[in-house]
């Protein structure tokens, strides 16, 4: 590591989850059926054709990841191979070329390394958010896939996604509009899902909640997920349950938590449909989880015209979610031994 590279002079612990321009981003184009090698560039603006399918027909997908400064100063990614796999499951669903895993990982590593000065220091509560994206560019008008694609990775130092430092307790309001149809695109990280959810988020916020909670679109009964995070529930018997649904994003954070909860914390775990109204009285603790959300306990829920308390007075963190949060963040920051091999060091 070049010790002479000094960090930017930011107030790291005050950062929100906002775009902050950094020095470099990575770009590779796919032309004539082939990926270019790709390169680091400085221009944050993308110039594309006015007919590009990404801006008309949402032919685009993206990923969300974080680089963290570990307790020993190393720079760690968390399971980047799974982000690569997830992007490569979304790409063919939208008739886009897959991004080879070595290109994906190299692009992420190069962008993180080039922006070393922007990686928040250990203990600041902030991290470097990484946004890989794949978009259809080039000229088009009819409902056809693009002929050319851009794969780009940019980064931004960020603080907590929800207001409040560390583990913020949030509230969710059940949405009256659906996020994803059965057999639709809900399990892919594609921008179209998020555009359709902007109104639901706004409506939830108008009710005083942080985010929307979606129930399944066919019966409006089973929990699917929140606008930007998957859901975990600790039932009264201590079992950690996460919704089974084909319409939700396969969260890397959720899959990791379910694995360490069983193997490391000795918890019973289940992936099954959760009937919100029928099972709420059996909820001991609930949380939303994801790269941006980390683990955010849910204190109360709004549905059927009223607020329902989930845990304590709606602002407290329960003991199980505290333990899950500590283990997750501990692994990601290299404080807890990573027996799973989940952290990936970016050599600076």
Kindly list the residues in this chain that would bind ligand COI in the complex (CB under 6 A): 64, 228, 290-292
Q: Which of 153, 229, 286, 346 binds ligand PLP (CB under 6 A)?
A: 229
Q: Which listed range, 33-41, 168-176, 249-257, 272-280, lies at the site for ligand PLP (CB under 6 A)? A: 249-257
The radius of gyration computed from the CA coordinates of the chain, to the nearest angstrom, equals 20
DSSP letter at 6 equals P
224 binds, among ligand COI, ligand PLP, none (CB under 5 to 8 A by kind): none
Q: Which of positions 251-280 make contact with ligand PLP (CB under 6 A)?
A: 251-254
Return the exposure string of 308-327: e unless at least 16 CB atoms fall within 10 Å of the residue's CB, then b.
bebbeebeebbebbeebbeb
Closest CB 194 distance from ligand PLP, rounded Å: 7
Q: Which of 150, 178, 211, 225 binds ligand PLP (CB under 6 A)?
A: 225
251 binds, among ligand COI, ligand PLP, none (CB under 5 to 8 A by kind): ligand PLP
Is residue 170 part of the contact set for ligand PLP (CB under 6 A)? Answer: no
Closest CB 264 distance from ligand PLP, rounded Å: 18
The catalytic residue among 189, 244, 262, 333 is: 189
Burial of 76 per CB tally in 10 Å (0-12, 13-18, 19+) = buried
HSE toward the beta carbon, residue 295, CA cutoff 13 A = 27
Active site includes 189? yes
Given a contact cutoff of 8 angstroms between Cβ atoms, the answer to whether 182 and 217 are in contact is yes
Whether the CA torsion 119, 122, 126, 132 is positive or negative: it is positive
HSE toward the beta carbon, residue 6, CA cutoff 13 A = 3
Q: In this chain, which residue has its C-beta nearest to ligand COI?
A: 64
Q: Toward ligand COI, which CB reaches closer, 175 or 291?
A: 291
What is the DSSP secondary-structure string of 193-227?
Answer: HHHHHHHHHHHHHHTT-SEEEEEPTTTS-BEEEET
Closest CB 321 distance from ligand COI, rounded Å: 18
Q: Which listed range, 12-20, 100-108, 201-209, 221-229, lies at the site for ligand PLP (CB under 6 A)? A: 221-229
Q: Give the bridge partners for 39, in sequence order.
A: 27
Rounded Cα gap, residues 124 and 122, in angstroms: 6
Q: Which listed range, 12-20, 223-231, 308-316, 321-329, lies at the site for ligand PLP (CB under 6 A)? A: 223-231
- Angle, in degrees to the nearest 10, between helices 80-93 and 101-114: 120
Q: Which of positions 104-163 make contact with ligand PLP (CB under 6 A)?
A: none
Closest CB 189 distance from ligand PLP, rounded Å: 6
Which residues of the shown chain bind ligand PLP in the complex (CB under 6 A)? 64, 225, 228-230, 249, 251-254, 290-291
Residues annotated catalytic, as ranges: 189
């Amino acid at each position: 590591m070049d010790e002479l590279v000094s960090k930017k002079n930011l107030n790291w612990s005050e950062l929100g989850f906002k775009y902050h321009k950094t020095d470099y981003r990575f770009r590779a184009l796919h032309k004539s059926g082939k990926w270019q090698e790709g390169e680091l560039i400085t221009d944050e603006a993308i110039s594309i054709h006015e007919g590009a399918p990404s801006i008309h027909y949402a032919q685009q997908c993206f990923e969300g990841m974080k680089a963290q400064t570990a307790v020993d100063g190393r720079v760690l990614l968390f399971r980047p191979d799974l982000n690569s796999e997830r992007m490569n499951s979304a790409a063919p669903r939208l008739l886009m070329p897959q991004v080879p895993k070595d290109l994906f990982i190299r692009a992420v590593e190069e962008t993180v390394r080039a922006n070393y000065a922007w990686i928040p220091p250990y203990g600041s509560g902030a991290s470097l958010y990484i946004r890989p994206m794949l978009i259809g560019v080039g000229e088009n008008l009819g409902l056809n896939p693009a002929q050319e694609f851009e794969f780009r990775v940019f980064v931004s130092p960020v603080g907590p996604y929800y207001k409040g430092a560390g583990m913020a307790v949030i509230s969710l309001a059940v949405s009256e509009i659906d996020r994803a149809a059965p057999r639709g695109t809900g399990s892919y990280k594609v921008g179209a899902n998020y555009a359709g959810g902007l109104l639901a988020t706004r409506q939830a916020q108008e009710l005083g909640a942080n985010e929307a909670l979606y129930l399944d679109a066919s019966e409006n009964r089973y929990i699917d997920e929140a606008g930007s995070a998957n859901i975990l529930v600790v039932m009264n018997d201590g079992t950690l349950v996460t919704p089974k649904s084909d319409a939700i994003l396969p969260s890397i954070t959720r899959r990791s938590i379910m694995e360490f909860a069983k193997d490391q914390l000795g918890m019973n775990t289940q992936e099954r449909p959760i009937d919100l109204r029928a099972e709420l009285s059996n909820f001991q603790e609930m949380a939303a989880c994801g790269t941006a959300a980390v683990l955010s306990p849910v204190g109360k829920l709004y549905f059927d015209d009223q607020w329902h308390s989930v845990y304590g007075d709606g602002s407290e963190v329960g003991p199980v979610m505290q333990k899950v949060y500590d283990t997750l963040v501990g692994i990601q920051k290299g404080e807890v031994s990573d027996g799973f091999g989940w952290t990936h060091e970016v050599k600076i």
